Structure 1
Amino acid sequence: MAQQTEESCEQSKRLSQVSRYQLIEGLLKKLIISICLKTEKQKIFGFLLLLFYYLHFQGRASAQLTPDSTLGGESSIITPGVIINRQPADRIDGGASRGANLFHSFSEFNLNDGQRVYFASPTGINNIITRVTGANPSNILGTLGVNGAANLFLINPNGIVFGKNARLDIRGSFFASTASSLVFADGNQFNATTSQSTPLLTVSLPLGVQFGTTPKPLDVQGSTLEVLPGRTLGLVGGEVRLIGGKLAAPGGRIELGSVAGNSLVSLNPINNDWRLSYEGVQNFQNIQLSQGAVVDASGEGGGDIQVWARSLLLGENSSLEALTLGKQPGGTININASQSVELTGTGTYINDVSLFLLGIVRPSNPRNGIFTLSYGSGAAGDVVINTPSFIGRNGAFVATSTLGLGQGGDLTINASNNVELTASALITGSGLGKKGDAGGITINTGRFLVQDYGVLGTSTLGTGRGGDLTVNASESVELIGNNPILIAPGARFLTGLFSSSLAAGDAGDVHVTTQRLSVQDGAAIGASTAGKGQGGNITVTASKSVELSGTSPDAQAQSAIAATAETGSTGKGGNLSVQTGQLILQDEGRLSVRSRGTGDAGNLEVIADSIRLDNQGSIAAATTVTGEGGNIRLQTQSLQLRRNSIINAEAGGNGNGGNIAIDTDTLVALENSNITANAFQGAGGRIDIDTQGLFLDRTSNITASSTLGINGVVDIDTSVRNVEAALPALEENVVNPDQIIAVSCLARRNYKRGSFTVTGSGGLPSTPYGAFTDSYSLTNVQPISQNNAAAANHNDSLEESNAPTLHPSARAVTTEELSLSDRTPPLQEAQGMFVNADGQVILVTLSQLQAIAKAEDLVCHYQSSVSQSRKSGVGS
């Protein structure tokens, strides 16, 4: 920083010295002219002044353009007083010609304010390459031109300054750099830091610019530097500072690069011009635009702007622009910053962004940001920003909208660490009454923060479709709101992510993927239609949590994720899908799909491990006019509603209520929390709840009614649907048979005949005399027909003289007499089961369906049989 301050002071001193010389020179000229009209003595005095003027100032002017001796007999020649383009100018002739390259070498290269200096461009010369070998920077305060169509390269490793009145008059492209040398394809270098003789000059094309250990800055101080349409304007140095002024290449290309020491920036020929690449650069320095500086590649088709830096700092009404004004497609603004991109506005943000959203901005309006807009039939260009950190604040914004017939451009930000928007916006849209589709916005980052009227928005105000909005944040997305601002009747300015249609075009979709999504203090994610177009869909995937909490400080805006068809719209509202680990809606936070027009509301789906609504949290799919209410589907393990929270799919007017389907393990609704699918004139909706546990207090309700129409249906199912999945799995390691073989089917009697093997889903007692606890009740056991028994390998059977009584709760069989015989064939093992219409479990064999038993805990195996002599004995 100290070094930068010292350099700035030295440059200021040099500029001040030049300005003083210019002032004195002007006064002397006026004095000489006035004296020459006076007496003879005064004329003599005037002659002496004139002699002093030519000896001092004209000598100084010549010293400003001082060729060195490194080119020998091919050194540059300064020819003053040449009329070029109808005005006097100094012409630079001579130089060393090699093929299509013409080389010049100077020890000093400066232009005074008002001075016009042109390089001669002989036939066959494509590139004029000029180096400055002295120890001072070049101060370009006048007009620098080429008297021909050649490209001009200016290299001074000690720095270059373009003053307020600096101008370019060049038909080719222009490159200025504080590099130490120009590198050619054959390996030769045109070096500005060491003396070099003529034989090293080459006919090869320039390959790149090589920088020394400490590249010096390159400053533009209020200048307007412009090349002809389709040409390239490149500035590459250490620090690059644009303090006011303008760089322009209409429909062409502008290259800005700021590199650190020992860097090679390559020159790649494209379409008879040049493009810079930075593969040979390890470290960069900063590029700063301030005081209304403009970098402009606008034209019939928008041109390209490429920026490479450590940090790009843009503020104070400055901008990068590539507007499409005609039929040709726009180019791309490509920004690469190894550390950060920071855009800072001037606080006029709300009005500026509102104009963009309403599609009435004009080409003279864009400031405080980065813009690729289309005002013609050509497509707008794209904006691509690659950096670890992107920050927009205090009214800065980026826009890639179409305000004509062309397509809008896409906006992509790849910021590995974070993207922060504080009172700033990223916008793409289709203008008022226009046919072009809006471009999309894609944010790829770690953490995404939007606060204090920050907006990420895409819109359509014509027949074109709105662009899609996609946020991929590997860690978190956080939206923090503020008091809403009314910008038009019924239109409020909020903080958040928005896709909207205000006309016949469909709105774009919104996609958010992250670990954690937090929407606070009245911020929102919205997709809406206010016209004939369809509303956009919203998809949120947050692996850990989604939390919507609180209202704006004035309580006029709720924290929300909403897909809405607004008042007066005829289009259908979009759908809303949320998939997350934990969904929290509290303090009036809400999820909603809603229609306030004649179109239907969309559908709402949530898949989450747990859903909690607290203190007026809400999930809604509702209509207020004639549209049909949307449907709600919730799939979760735990659903809780507390303190005036609500889930509703209601319809006002003639519409029918929507449907609500809830699949949850447990549902708790307390403290005046309700689930409703009501209607006014239409039919009530349907509520289907599938749960194992439903807990409601007296103040909470589940209703599907209609005030004037047909009531809906509420269906609550608490049964277990999947019996096989509900039963515990059998143990893989079966216990030793010696421990489970008993001489009786009764575990508490010691008979020594026969055997009885038990395999149970709930586990086995360690011995036949241990207690056997159950997981499922044993009821409605039916007698087993002996006709169904298979041939016996065992000679034992169980019989009783009186019918046994089965007590399911005690898991014991009581009878007056129990004996074993060897004449009853054994049972077959059950080979399947199903649930009948009454909810009973049926155990079956493949060949027999008559043996029906409901026994969740107990199955007899090992070819034993249970029989009873009284066929009417039934367990109870």
Structure 2
Amino acid sequence: MKNIFFIIIYESFFSPCPPASPAPPALSNQDGMRKLSNLNWCIFSIASLCAIVSSINKVSAQVIRDETLPKNSEVKVEGNISTIEGGTKSNGNLFHSFKEFSVPTGNEAHFNNAADIQNIITRVTGKSISDIDGLIKANGTANLFLINPNGIVFGENAKLDIGGSFVGSTADSIKFDGDIEFNAINPENKPLLTVNVPLGLQYAQNPGKIEFKGKGEPERKIPRVIEAKTGLEVPANKTLALLGGDVLLEGATLKASSGRIELGSVTGESLVSIAAIEKGFGFGFEKLANIGEKFGDIRLSQNTAVDASGNGAGDIRVTSKNFTITDNSVVVSTQTGTEKSGSIVINAKESVNFDGINDTFIPSGLYANNVSKNRTENTGNIRINAPQFIVNNRATIGANAWSAGNGGDIDIKTNDLRVEGGGIVSAAVFGNGNGGNVNIDASNVQILGTSNDGKSFSELSVSAKKNSTGNTGNMNINTSNLEVAGGALIFAGTSGEGNGGDMTINATESIKIIGRGGNENQFTSGLFVVANEEATGNSGSLTINTNKMQVENFAFVSASNNGKGNAGDLQITTNELLIKDDASLISGVESENKLAGQLTIKTGKLLIEGGSRVNAGATSSDKVNLDIDAQEIQVIGTGNNGKTPSQLSILIQDNLISNAGELNIVTNTLLIKDGAFLFTGTSGKGNGGNLTINAEDIQVIGFGGNNPDNNNQPYFSGLFATAEKNSIGNAGKLNINTKRMLVEDRAFVSTSTNSNNGDGGDLNINANNLQVRNDSKVVSETNSKGTGGNLKITTNNLLVENGGKVSSGTSGAGNAGNLTIDSDAIKVKNDEAQITVESQGRGNAGVLTLNARSINLDNNALLNASTQSSDSSKEQATININSRDLILHRRSNIFTNAKGEQVIGGNINIKTDFLIAGENSDISANSENFRGGNVRIDAQGIFGTEFRDRPSDSTSDITATGASPDLAGIVEIITPQSDPNNGLVELPTIPIYPEIADTCSTPSYAQSSFTITGAGSLPPSPFKPLTGNLNRTSLVTLAGEIKPPVRRSRQAPKQKQEIKQIVDAQGWVRTKDGKIILVKNATQNSNFLAMKNSAHCN
């Protein structure tokens, strides 16, 4: 080769080129061609020389030893194989030192070591990088260390054929015991006889890069174990480590079956420790000073595959400043057998960024899978530690159980976690094994949006897939702030036979669940704990603890079971919970005879508005409870263009046998307005739940929106306990305990039944002050065959005004319930405001009972008990009033009137001290088409009204008129009879003190008088009011067949009481404390002053 080289040099440089002559005035064409030919020959010779020299250097200089070892390496080149022998041996270690070490394409570097060698430790002391695009081979099971501070580049044809582990590093040296270094920068001939196992890799400033430029493996399918057709592979249970400055893997394949793959990037002066482990070597970065400044970047791109799968899934460790996976590159560790699994651990000092590709089957990411048929083995965990972690563009982190084995956990610790663009972090069950947990510890967590094509959503999940039998793992998130938006999801679910996992979220500052996403907004942002339709297992529970929580713009928070199992609980504890703009918070179950979870909210403030809902519902379950404990609750307005009311509700769906649970609210203030409502109901065979409210202040106000199911009429704000149409069960009770309650502007508080057979629930209100105003209603009613519930109000003050209504009624075949009010003061006024029991159907009205200190009806107010029942054998509508004062003003009325054939007027029973009725205010028990009812009044005094056989438009009347005089009812008025002598004292003929008038005359100017002025005569009884009308009675002729209306009036005389003699005081005494006391006998005591004065009159 040297001779050939010499000849080429001689021919090129020493063979004379034709000399160039001075240019003549003109050259012939032949001469010009000759000159050009000679020049071209020189250029060609020189170019050929350069190419041949380059080729010779590349072949012969691929492995060049240096002379730095006690026993130097020997390199024998035969064809494309460089055999490496010699080197310095020490305690199972074989040291080689090269000035250059590269393996060109198609070439082989063969370390021909003895069988007893454990570690082949190789350094490059020259200035060039190691370019490996061929095969590196070693004998036996020796481990191979390749150290080149300048850098190492692996090509697409690079391969390993060794029996042990491989460590490629750009460290300066390898450290051993006794402060011995095998240094590539300062190769000193220190004794190596005592060297044992390597202890560390010592890096200087700015170590070289490690690069791998391969073909990649685009045809991959997880969980299949990657078969390395190219790339670097070590035997099973061994270590493959690349530890340099920046580590850049483009289209690379690294494989260590059931072993360990270590990728590390160090850019500053530092020591990476080495420890011998069962699977080769472990590396420690704990001694690095100023950690953030000593690490470089690791990047996997262009279909790179890093795979430690095997009979026991291997370990994969990545340590860097920034770690990036992109272009469908993957890190995989799949458990295929029964050996113990390892884990995937990523430690980045600044960031981890996974970026997938949309148009591929397997996106970029980390995968820890278990396909083992041995149920006792778990796959390894995935642990990621970085200040920032981004999963984007369908990139995936998956810890999956595909067969009988259990899945591993995913543990992420970061300051900022962002999963977006259809990215996935998931622990899933596909087979018989149980799924792993997902544990997030981050300052900020964002799960955002959908993929670029809008076909998949970003997710953080634990799940069991269809046809699986294993249980789902749990989802645990600890953060300061959590945001889920743009159609993204966090969920724990099952579609198989196993149970779903629990989800626990602790966010010290805030949680935001907002919006929808996808091409057609088909994905709803949410937190879901769910069992899907295919599932037979139970769903888990959802527990949320945070300072402030927002659920907005169609977003969902749900714990439900749509399959055949029980649903889990949904519990939220927060200082402020805002549910806005058609958002939902739901707990429910559809399983036959299964239990729904409890929905519990404990908060400072709860706001539900814009058509949002908080709902605990079921289609087949029993006892769905919704408990809310809040300082302030506001349920406001409608959403979806007015078609959806905001609501707090419990509902049992169609065809269910089970009963609804309880809706219990404890709060300081409750505001329901603008069409929103609180609701418990049943539309099935089970009974509706009870609605119980304990509050300091309750306001139910107004209406809003347009109900498409009711001719676009508005929704009325309200509190409702209802049995819906076609249901069989009974409606629940509505119990309210409060200090102040306001129902106004067409709002409702109602218990009702529209059921074919079910009864309405009772409505009980205990309030210090209750106001029902402006066409609002507090009602208990039945619109069907069922009996209406009873309505009872206990309050200090009841105000019903401006068309307000308190009612118990029926419009169907069922009887209405009773209405009872116990109050200190009842005031009903203005625009037909009323308290009523009524029947507008075939059923009977209930009994209206008022117990109050005072009752005041003013300006068209009404107490009413009306009926349309034609069953004359039944007691009709009845009003019972017990009050000290009963006052009716300005056309206010008390009615038990009836209308219809065979419909009897109701009864009115009044017991009062004083009955005052003025300005055409009537008390009547009339029947328009049949017999009048009965009126019984027991009063100390009646003013402004009296019994009449017919009502008058100009007077205040008491009537019980029937269809004809002989069908009149009975009016019975009981007032006390007065004895004129009762209470009088017989006075002596002679004045007791005649001196009173001794010197006083009675002049005419001091005359007195007592005058009564009236337009007519005195009333017929002292107890009747002065009506101002002259009562004239003319003669009549008896007509024997006509019976006048019956009026019974009984006066019960009072017992005459013994009256003590009144004795005049004779003087007065001033006590020590200044009080004046009148005394009977005059004394001479200095404190006594006689009342007699000297006669002196003016």
Task: State the TM-score, normalized to the length of structure 1.
Answer: 0.69
Shift of 1:706: 2.4
AA matched with 1:718: A
Distance 1:410 1:335, change over 3 A: farther
Q: 1:676 — aligned with what?
A: 720
* Preserved CA contact (<8 Å) 2:63 2:82: no
- In 2, Cα distance between equivalents of 1:349 and 1:441: 28
- SS of equivalent residue, structure 1 residue 650: strand
Q: CA deviation at 1:420?
A: 4.4
Change (3 A) 1:400 1:124: farther
**Aligned counterpart, 1:148:** 140
Q: Verify: 1:445 aligned to 2:479, yes or no.
A: yes
Distance in 2, Cα, partners of 1:702 & 1:817: 59
Q: SS of 1:657's equivalent?
A: coil
Q: Say which structure is richer in strand.
A: 2
Kindly state the Cα deviation for residue 484 of structure 1 after the two structures are TM-superposed: 6.6
Alignment of 1:26-175 (within 5 A): 57=55, 59-80=57-78, 89-175=81-167
Shift of 1:710: 1.4
Tell me the residue number matched to 1:497: 527
Larger Rg: 2
Query: What residue is the counterpart of 2:647 in the other structure?
Result: 618
Q: 1:414 aligns with which of 436, 441, 446?
A: 441
The structural deviation recorded for 1:698 is 4.3
Shift of the 532–260 alpha-carbon distance from structure 1 to 2, 3 Å rule, reads same
Name the structure 2 match of 1:599: 621
How do 1:105-254 and structure 2 match up within 5 A?
Answer: 105-200=97-192, 202-222=194-214, 224-254=231-261
Q: Deviations over 1:562-593 (max 9, x none)?
A: 22325x77643322222222222121222222
Q: 1:678 to 1:371 in 2, by over 3 A?
A: same
The residue identity in structure 2 corresponding to 1:445 is T
Alignment check: 8 A CA contact 2:357 2:363 kept: no
Amino acid in the other structure paired with 2:766: D
Q: Secondary structure at the match of 1:73?
A: coil
Give 2:682's aligned residue.
651
Q: Are the aligned partners of 2:663 and 2:692 in contact in 1 as well (CA < 8 Å)?
A: yes
SS of residue paired to 1:331:
coil
Task: Provide Cα deviations, 1:419-451, integer angstroms capped at 9, x if missing partner.
Answer: 444432222222322222222222233322222
Partner of 1:528: 560
2:669 to 605, 618, 638: 638
How far residue 98 of structure 1 moved from its aligned partner, in angstroms, is: 1.4
Question: 2:498 — aligned with what?
Answer: 464
- In the other structure, the counterpart of 2:343 is 332
Alignment deviations for residues 701-748 of structure 1 (CA, whole Å, 9 cap, x no partner) = 22232222011122222269xxxxxxxxxxxxxxxxxxxxxxxxxxxx
Match of 1:385 in 2: 412
- d(CA) in 2 for partners of 1:818, 1:586: 71
Superposed CA deviations along residues 287-328 of structure 1, whole A, max 9, x for unmatched, are 222223232223333332222222322233233322333445
Shift of 1:371: 2.3
CA deviations 1:647-671 (Å, max 9, x no partner) are: 2222212121112222221111112
Secondary structure of residue in 1 paired with 2:71: helix
**Contact 1:593-1:601 at 8 Å conserved across structures:** no
Deviation readout 1:27-71 (Å, 9 max, x if unpaired): xxxxxxxxxxxxxxxxxxxxxx99999976354223122222221
Residue in 2 that maps onto 1:628: 659
Contact 1:601 1:621 in 2 (8 A): no
- Alpha-carbon distance in 2 for matches of 1:587, 1:351: 41
* Percent identity over paired residues: 34
C-alpha distance in structure 2 between counterparts of 1:483 and 1:122, whole Å? 64
Deviation string for 1:235-289 (max 9, x for gaps)? 2222222223332223322222223312322223332522222211212332222
- Conserved in 1, the CA contact under 8 Å of 2:627 and 2:664? yes
- Cα RMSD over matched residues? 3.4
Which secondary structure does the structure 2 equivalent of 1:153 belong to? strand
Q: CA deviation at 1:149?
A: 1.4
CA distance in 1 between partners of 2:257 and 2:593 (Å): 43
Instruction: State the distance in 2 between where 1:471 and 1:348 align.
Output: 33
Q: 1:71 to 1:142 in 2, by over 3 A?
A: same
Find the partner of 1:564 among 588, 592, 606. Answer: 588
CA distance in 2, matches of 1:483, 1:58: 62
Q: Deviations over 1:191-226 (max 9, x none)?
A: 222222141565322222222122333222236332
Paired with 2:360 and 2:495, the residues of 1 have a C-alpha distance of 20
Higher helix share: 1
1:383 touches 1:412 (CA, 8 Å); kept in 2?
A: yes
Counterpart position of 2:273: 266
Q: Is the 8 A contact 2:238 2:279 kept in 1?
A: no
Q: The residue matched to 1:704 in structure 2 has which SS?
A: strand
Cα distance between partner residues in 2 of 1:524 and 1:373: 26
Determine whether 1:513 maps to 2:545: yes
Deviations along 1:686-712, one digit per CA (max 9) or x if unpaired, are: 222222111111422222322220111
Higher mean alpha-carbon deviation, 409-418 vs 204-213, is at 409-418
Measured in 1, the distance between the counterparts of 2:615 and 2:627 equals 10
Equivalent of 2:353 in 342, 349, 352: 342
Q: Is the 8 A contact 1:690 1:717 kept in 2?
A: yes
Q: Distance in 2 between matches of 1:577 and 1:185?
A: 63
Question: For residues 312 and 665 of structure 1, what CA distance do their matches in structure 2 show?
Answer: 57
| Letter aligned with residue 432 of structure 2 | L
Shift, 1:231, TM fit: 2.4
Report what 1:305 is aligned to: 316
Q: Which amino acid aligns with 2:195?
A: V
Q: Which amino acid aligns with 1:208?
A: G
Kindly indicate whether the alpha-carbon contact (under 8 Å) linking 2:517 and 2:525 is maintained by their aligned counterparts in 1.
Answer: no
- CA distance in 1 between counterparts of 2:729 and 2:362 reads 43
SS of equivalent to 1:386: strand
* Contact map agreement 1:335 1:384 (CA 8 A) in 2: no
TM-score, length of structure 2 as denominator length: 0.55
The 3-state SS of whatever aligns with 2:753 is coil
Paired position in structure 1 for 2:421: 394
Q: 1:630 is paired with a residue of what secondary structure?
A: coil
| Secondary structure of 2:516 counterpart | coil
Between the aligned partners of 1:372 and 1:697, the Cα distance in structure 2 is 57
Distance 1:260 1:630 in 2: 64
Structure 1 residues 700 and 458: CA distance shift in structure 2, 3 A: same
**Which residue among 278, 288, 293 is the counterpart of 2:285?**
278
Structure 2 counterpart of 1:318, one-letter code: S
Partners of 1:121 and 1:351 in 2: how far apart? 42
| Counterparts of 2:717 and 2:1078, CA distance in 1 | 59
CA distance in 1, matches of 2:140, 2:394: 35
Partner of 1:257: 264
Contact conserved, 1:340 with 1:388, CA < 8 A, in 2? Answer: no
Instruction: Indicate conservation of the 8 Å contact 2:122/2:146, yes or no.
Output: yes
Q: Equivalent residue for 2:509?
A: 475
CA spacing shift, 1:322–1:653, aligned 2, 3 Å: same
Summarize deviations over 1:818-837 as a string: whole Å, max 9, x none.
Answer: 89xxxxxxxxxxxxxxxxxx
Indicate the structure whose relative CO is greater, using CA pairs within 8 Å and at least 6 residues apart.
Answer: 1
Size of the alignment, in residue pairs?
651
User: Is the Cα–Cα contact under 8 Å of residues 328 and 360 in structure 2 kept in the other structure?
Assistant: no
